[in-house]
Amino acid sequence: GIEHVNPIDIKQMVGRAGRVGLDPRGDAYVLIAQHEAHKERPRIANIPEIRSCLEEFRALAFHVIAQVGEGGAKNVDDLYAWYSRSYAAYLGQTFSREDWQLLVDN
């Protein structure tokens, strides 16, 4: 049957609507049963800010290992290109070239 979706998940899915270079805009529809609208609208109206796990260096290191292991990145430039498309990069989190090199070397 129909289940309630966590508001954080709604916000994340809506944020994925539309993609640069693929779609100039995104559309998202949240369907609420009319008899539940009075309690559901407030529940999804005040969703906390979503942060990226890649903003933390340790989490970034884990994902870098996965990228390298899957063949998605072979060098620092590949990793930088991968990261530049992430939500963390969109939020403005940057790492120095030395940080990237440290991840590759270790």
Same domain as 63, residue 95: yes
Residue 22: pLDDT band by 50, 70, 90 thresholds?
confident
For residues 103 and 31, the model is more confident at 31
Task: Summarize pLDDT for 57-101 with one digit per residue, the tens.
Answer: 888 888 888 888 888 888 888 988 888 888 888 888 888 878 888
Residue 31: pLDDT band by 50, 70, 90 thresholds?
confident
Task: Look at the chain and report how many structural domains it folds into.
Answer: 2
Per the domain annotation, does 57 fall within a domain?
A: yes
Tell me the average pLDDT across 8-36: 79
Task: Identify the pLDDT of residue 5.
Answer: 85
Report the C-alpha gap between 51 and 39 in whole angstroms: 26
DSSP at 20: T
Same domain as 59, residue 27: no
Same domain as 90, residue 57: yes
Same domain as 32, residue 14: yes
Q: Which domain holds residue 15?
A: 7-45
Same domain as 58, residue 31: no
Dihedrals phi, psi of 95, to nearest 5 degrees: -125, 145
Per the domain annotation, does 15 fall within a domain?
A: yes
